[in-house]
Amino acid sequence: MLVTVLGFQSPYPGPGGATPGYLVQTDHTTLLLDCGSGVLAKLGELLPIYELDALLLSHFHHDHVADVGVLQYGLMVHLREGDRSPDQPLPIYAPGQPAEKAAGLTYREATRLVPVDEKSQVTVGDVQISFLRTDHGDGDPCYAMRLEAGGKTLVYGADSGPNTMWDPFARQADLFICEGTFLERYKPAEPHGHLTVRQAAQVAESLACRSLLITHLWPAYTEEEVRAEADVYRTGTCHIARFGLQIRL
C-alpha cells in the first residue's frame, strides 16, 4: 500500500497548497480519501482523475469536500472523451447526513453516492474498508476509515476530538493518519472536535501504532515546531504531513 499526501492543510490552503486529500494505491486499486481545496491539482501531478476507483469522504466540512464539484465536472468531460464508461460512475462512499449534501454526490453519470455508517464493510478492489464515528462536528457524522490490503492496515482518522473511541479500531495500525490541528499555544480552553499535535502523538503511542502521520495543520506551522510537540510518540516513525510525502506500507 502506498500513501501519498495530496493535501493536509486546514481550514484553508496556503499558497499553492491544499486541504485534506490522501491518495492510496495498491497493486490493483486507486483510492482518494477526502477531496479538499486544491487536491485535484495535486492529484493531477501523479495520475489522471479518471483513474480513481473510488472516493471516500469522511464528512462534509468544506476543507474535506471543496473539490468534489470540480471532480464531477472533470469526470463528465472524461466520459465524453471515452476515458470512463458511463455505466461505471465513480463511487463516492460518504456519510448519509446531512442528506442534502449527500444527495449531491450523485451527479449524472459521473459519480454515485454510496452511503456508509459504522456498520458498513466496503470492498474496493483488493482493499477492505470499515468505519468509526469520531468526536467531531455539531451532530452530523464524521467517519474515520480503516483500510486493509496485502496484510497492512492504514487508519485515516479524519477530523476527531479527544472523545473518539480509537481502541481497538486503530490499535497497532501500520500507519495512523491523525489530525493535530493545534499546537499547544493555540489549544482551545474547551475541546471542540479537534486534537492538538501532542494529543495525536499520545493517542498513537497508547495504541502502539507502528507509524504516525500528523496532519490537518494550519498552513503557517513549521515542520520543526509540529515535530517538537509530537515527541511522546516513540513506537515508530513519526511523519509530519507535507505535499507529495509518500509512505509505503
Quick check: 71 and 99 in contact, CB under 8 A? no
Q: Any contact of residue 133 with Zn ion (CB under 5 A)?
A: no
Q: Any contact of residue 148 with Zn ion (CB under 5 A)?
A: no
Quick check: 135 and 163 in contact, CB under 8 A? yes
Candidate segments 159-167, 183-191, 223-231, 234-242, binder of Zn ion by CB under 5 A: 159-167
Give the Cα separation of 157 and 200 in Å (integer). Answer: 10
Q: Which is nearer to Zn ion, 10 or 30 (CB)?
A: 10
Q: Any contact of residue 58 with Zn ion (CB under 5 A)?
A: no
Quick check: 139 and 120 in contact, CB under 8 A? no
Q: Any contact of residue 194 with Zn ion (CB under 5 A)?
A: no
Q: Which is nearer to Zn ion, 4 or 10 (CB)?
A: 10
CB contact set of 172 (below 8 Å; sequence gap of 6+) = 153, 207, 208, 209, 210
Q: Which is nearer to Zn ion, 11 or 236 (CB)?
A: 11
Closest CA to 37 of 8, 80, 5, 79: 8
Supply 27's cell numbers: 497493486
| Smallest separation, CB 10 to Zn ion (Å) | 5
Q: Which amino acid is at 61?
A: H
Give the Cα separation of 93 and 95 in Å (integer). Answer: 7
Residue nearest to Zn ion (CB): 61
| Smallest separation, CB 62 to Zn ion (Å) | 8
Q: In the set 34, 67, 148, 159, which binds Zn ion (CB under 5 A)? A: 159
Q: Which is nearer to Zn ion, 89 or 157 (CB)?
A: 157
Q: Any contact of residue 101 with Zn ion (CB under 5 A)?
A: no
Q: Which is nearer to Zn ion, 26 or 181 (CB)?
A: 181
Count CA atoms closer than 13 A to 95's CA, side-chain side: 25
Candidate segments 39-47, 60-68, 122-130, 161-169, binder of Zn ion by CB under 5 A: 60-68
Q: Please give the residue ranges that form the binding site for Zn ion (CB under 5 A).
A: 10, 61, 63, 159
